[in-house]
Every structure is written in structure tokens, then in C-alpha cells.
Amino acid sequence: MPYAADAATQYQDARHDPLRVLVVGAGVAGVTTARLLRRNGLHPVLIERAAAGAAEGYMLALMPMVGPVFDELGLWPEYRERAVAFGRYRLCAHHGRPVRTDSMGELLADYGDYRGIGRGELLDVLSGADCPVSFGTTLAALTETAGAAMVQLACGDHTGEYEFDLVVVSDGIGSGTRRLLDVGPIGRLDTGWGGWVAWAPPDDEQDLGEELWGAGFFLGSYPVRDRIGVFLGGPDAATADGPERLVAAIDRQLRTRTGRTSRALRAVLDTDRPYYWPLRDVRTARWVTGHAVLVGDAAAGFLPTAGIGAGMAMESAWVLSRLLVHADRANLATLLDAYEKLQRPRVEAAQDNSRTLARMMFRDGRAFAVCRDVAARLLSVRSVLKPIRRLLDARPDPDAAARRALSRSD
């Protein structure tokens, strides 16, 4: 579990490192990066703008590309204890009747574990016993010189100035740090939809994820330990007045419903002020500046449609940390360039897949929903997962990439 430590205290250890690293954002990407760098002998300063204890959030499905992170940190037992195996996927037609149930375990068994976990529980697992964080702290100013990044950190009324060799920007899809850097234009996709996250009690199908692709709504329920994560979404106009109106409209549409569907809708109504998730993404033109690098949602923020965003963020953190094993202050720019060339095409391919699924899932109109139901009966989950399986078939080798990059620069 992360523990509080002010930036000045963290910097006392970091300032003697061969690479002085600041990690901005203690979400999935930031904590993963910080922990991997610590394992490799560095003492990154990790800051987070939110207060301690604000990490509950939502449910995550982690694809097998996260395996190298748990391998390096030795966290497989803790992860498997806190997560549940995502074995089956059930798709329901727009009127509520199940269309098909597929074995996700069989489809991904060759690649590793596919599990569901709450965001807060994942952060607890990743942080382990050695993860100091300066909570309530922001990066107020950043100036890059030829030799370093000069930063100003603010915590309440107190500010401090520090010098770092590298700033890892991992403060999420709405990154404030990104605005301080010359990363070029920010591409944005707004689906015009959003929805609420809620939690339902566990049931007797804790290996099952279920989705209902409705006409003007989407309902998904996904198992994590001891509960079911629920997402109910719809067009912005339909969600503007709160979940009661949308649930009433769904009740009028459904001719049948599974027990999971009923419990998921009830969970949304019973949750006091459920977390609202606008369904938008971002994509930056560049990931690297002189002494800064973007990781996770700050580089490419995902729609949740393919359930792969957190996995790609963790993979990116691992790739970066492995490249930095080979880094010093003289060759840092070469290895950061290698990171972007290696990882950005993979992340953007996964993001494109999420966007494609969004065009199928987030649609209004009964005629389209009927056609989509027919296609769902014919189209296998194996074919839908093909882009993700391609990523898993061609996993990155950051150590080889580092050797190639450094040999070319000699």
C-alpha cells in the first residue's frame, strides 16, 4: 500500500541516483513505473495531486501483457489472491436475451492470466511495502534545459524547486503536466456517451463477465474479488438527468433479462452518487521531450471498450523501466527515443481497436441494434480478440531495443 512521504524527503535519496527521476501521478502507470525503477536500484520521487485514500475508482480487466510486471516485482501470489479469473463472457441482445457465452480462458490461455480486479486493489498490490508518495502535490512549473528538468512542486502553500534528469508524466487522461510540455497537438475522440460505475454483490458466476449492447444504452458487469463491477452508459442527453431516467427507459425496452442484468441495474440505482465516466479518449502527437516522457493515459487515454487500457499502461511502464536499466545521463535521449518507437505503435494499435469497438457498442436506434445482434451470433469472440492476440503474439523486447539503439549511437 502506498504511504505518505513529502517530496523533499523523497528527493534526499533520489538526488544521489545516477538518474534522478520524478514520476507524476500515482495511478496504475505511475505506481508501476516507480516500483520497477525502485527494484532496479533508483529512488524515484512519486507525487500525486489527489489526497491519500482516493483510489477506489472502477473495475479493471487485465490482459496477459501485464505478466512481465508481476514477474519482475514478484507479485503473482498477491495479484492472484486479490483478483478473480475472468473465464467466461456472455453477450446479451438489445432486448435482454443472451446471444452467446464464450470461454475467455480458453482463448487467452496460451498467453497467461486474464483477471478482474478493482483499481484500488490493483494499486495496493503494485505498491507493495515500498512505495512512498507525496499526496496532494502537483507539478506547478517545468523548465527543460540541455542538462536537466527544473521543476517546481507545490503542496498546499508550500513550494519547492528540484532538478531531475527525467520526468515521467503519468497523471492520466486529463494530464495537467502534459500542458507544460511541447508534445504537439492532442487528438481527442468524444463518443458523446458516458455512464456510471457501481458495485453489485457477488453472485454464483464470479468467473463471468456480461454485456448487454442495447439500443441507446450499454450495460456491462465484470467480476472482481467479492463483488461485481457495473457500468451503465448511454448518450450524454440520456444520462444528463441521472441514472433513474435511463434505467426506466431500459426497463421499457427489455423483454427478458438475466439475473445479472437485474442486479446490475439495481446496483446503479442504489449507489449514492455513482462515479460518472465520460467516454472520451486522447492521443498525443509525441511522447518524449528533452527530459520528459509520457506513460499510460497521459500518452494515450483509452476508451474502456476492449478492457485493455490498464494492461497497456502497465506494459508501457515495464518497457520504459527496462530501457532505463541501460540509461545514464549521456544516453538518456537515445533510450527515450527507443521507448517511443517501440511502444507507441503497439499502444495506438490497441487504442484503435477500442475505438472500433466503440463504434459498434455506443449506438442509438433499434434497427442498428437488430443488425448488430445478428452479427454477434455469427462473429466469434476469437475474431473480435484478434487484434489483441496479435499484440500478445509480438511482445516487446525492450532490452534488445536498448542494445540496438545504443549500438547505432556509438
C-alpha cell at 279: 467516454
Q: Which residues touch 287 (CB under 8 Å, ≥6 apart)?
A: 183, 293, 294, 299, 339, 340, 343, 344
Strand partners, 190: 280
- Burial class, 324, CB count within 10 angstroms (exposed 0-12 / middle 13-18 / buried 19+): buried
Would you kindly state where each structural domain of the chain is located, as residue ranges?
Answer: 3-86+111-188+281-409, 191-279
DSSP letter at 60 equals E
CB 2 within 8 Å of CB 131: yes
pLDDT by position in tens, the chain (length 410) = 788 999 999 999 999 999 999 999 999 999 999 999 999 999 999 999 998 876 567 899 999 999 999 999 999 999 999 999 989 999 999 999 999 999 887 778 888 889 999 999 999 999 988 899 999 999 999 999 999 999 999 999 999 999 999 999 999 999 999 999 999 999 999 999 999 999 999 999 999 999 999 999 999 999 999 999 999 999 999 999 999 999 999 999 999 999 999 999 999 999 998 889 999 999 999 999 999 999 999 999 999 998 999 999 999 999 999 999 999 999 999 999 999 999 999 999 999 999 999 999 999 888 999 999 998 888 777 777 888 989 999 999 999 999 999 998 76
> Are the CB atoms for 96 and 211 separated by under 8 Å?
no
Write down how long the chain is: 410
pTM given for the model: 0.96
How open is the CA angle 234-237-90, to the nearest 5 degrees? 5
Domains 3-86+111-188+281-409 and 191-279 equal at CATH topology level: no
Residues 157 and 312: their CA atoms lie apart, in Å, by 36
Write the pLDDT tens digit of every residue in 322-331: 999 999 999 9
Instruction: Give the CATH architecture of domain 191-279.
Output: 2-Layer Sandwich (3.30)
CATH of 3-86+111-188+281-409, one of 1.10.1380.10, 3.50.50.60, 1.10.645.10, 3.90.1530.10: 3.50.50.60
